[in-house]
């Protein structure tokens, strides 16, 4: 598993090895939990969206702020973007072009891809062990695959823990129906699932979001995380095994 450069933290005690569960088990668990028939269709071959071609950043782009003290590193859109990606998101999420443009004055979202291409060219030319990649609608730094062993040697091997059948069912429902609420998961499984959702959040396989950004005014929704994709070696959720048709109508049950 490759890591974001701004998120080099030891994995939690309950981290899962890649061989702990397979995509087939995930799809089968979803089918069994919801009555959804499996399909013979192959998973989508589409990978993450390619980085769009973009012109180089304008020469007169203004930096966000001048450094307080003299520095040998120029403060310009490219170095600012590199700094943002190096620091990383506190929830290990990708940086979208729109988010980057909001922080960087004088840079449009469609210019971010050009800056990324320039940075990656510099990394390759200088033999850096990482690249900037596009995943789930945004950019992030990742170690090259050949350095996976180094990360594992530094942090140590993760303790092998298999998901229970109940946890696998809940994870599968979140993966295929996200964003999904506790009430929706309860309805699809026919039993309370709040405790299992909390367990999966602790293991960083799913995350909690609030549509209005306020936990007091909106209902919590659950989504899979980047670690979920890495665990199952997926480029995007489009690569999940395809399922047949199902009827999702009906009233939601109580929590």
Q: What is the CATH number of the domain that holds 178?
A: 1.10.10.10
Averaged pLDDT score across all residues of the chain: 75
Reported as a single tens digit per residue, the pLDDT across 109-131 is: 999 999 999 999 999 999 999 99
Predicted model pTM = 0.46
The reply to whether 71 falls in a domain is no
The reply to whether 226 falls in a domain is yes
The reply to whether 187 falls in a domain is yes
The reply to whether 100 falls in a domain is no
The reply to whether 79 falls in a domain is no
Token pair for 243 = 């399922």
- Indicate whether 223 pLDDT > 60: yes
Structurally, how many domains does the chain consist of? 1
- Indicate whether 177 pLDDT > 70: yes
Pairing of strands 206-209, 221-224: antiparallel
Mean pLDDT in residue range 69-96: 79
CA-based Rg of the chain, rounded to a whole angstrom? 21
For residue 192, name the pLDDT band (cuts at 50, 70, 90): very high
For residue 93, name the pLDDT band (cuts at 50, 70, 90): confident
Please give the DSSP secondary-structure letter assigned to residue 48.
S
Reported as a single tens digit per residue, the pLDDT across 23-73 is: 777 777 777 776 666 655 544 444 445 555 555 555 555 555 555 555 577
CA distances 86 to 4, 71, 83, 236, Å, are: 8, 18, 5, 22
Chain Cα centroid distance, residue 184: 22
List of E strands, 33-148: 130-135, 138-143
The reply to whether 172 falls in a domain is yes
200 membership: H or E segment, kind and range = helix 194-202
Q: Which domain holds residue 218?
A: 18-43+160-239
The reply to whether 39 falls in a domain is yes
CA distances 130 to 8, 114, 117, 124, 170, Å, are: 13, 18, 13, 9, 34
């Amino acid at each position: 598993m490759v890591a974001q450069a701004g998120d080099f933290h030891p994995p939690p005690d309950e981290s899962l090895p890649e061989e702990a569960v397979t995509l087939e088990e995930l799809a089968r668990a979803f089918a069994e939990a919801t009555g959804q028939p499996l399909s013979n269709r192959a998973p989508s071959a589409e990978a993450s969206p390619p980085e769009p071609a973009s012109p180089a950043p304008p020469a007169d782009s203004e930096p966000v702020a001048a450094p307080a003290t003299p520095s040998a590193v120029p403060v310009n859109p490219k170095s600012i973007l590199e700094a943002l990606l190096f620091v990383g998101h506190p929830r290990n999420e990708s940086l979208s072009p729109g988010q980057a443009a909001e922080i960087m004055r004088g840079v449009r979202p469609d210019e971010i891809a050009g800056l990324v291409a320039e940075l990656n060219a510099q990394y390759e030319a200088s033999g850096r062990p990482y690249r900037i990649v596009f995943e789930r609608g945004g950019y992030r730094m990742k170690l090259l695959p050949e350095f996976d062993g180094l990360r594992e040697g530094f942090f140590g091997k993760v303790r092998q823990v298999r998901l229970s059948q109940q946890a696998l069912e809940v994870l599968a429902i979140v993966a295929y129906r996200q964003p999904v609420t506790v009430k929706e998961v309860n309805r699809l499984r026919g039993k309370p699932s709040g405790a299992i959702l909390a367990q999966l959040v602790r293991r960083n396989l799913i995350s909690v979001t609030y549509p209005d950004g306020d936990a007091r005014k909106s209902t919590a929704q659950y989504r899979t995380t980047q670690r979920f994709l890495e665990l199952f070696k997926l480029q995007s959720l489009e690569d999940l095994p395809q399922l047949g048709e199902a009827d999702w109508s009906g009233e939601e049950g109580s929590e």
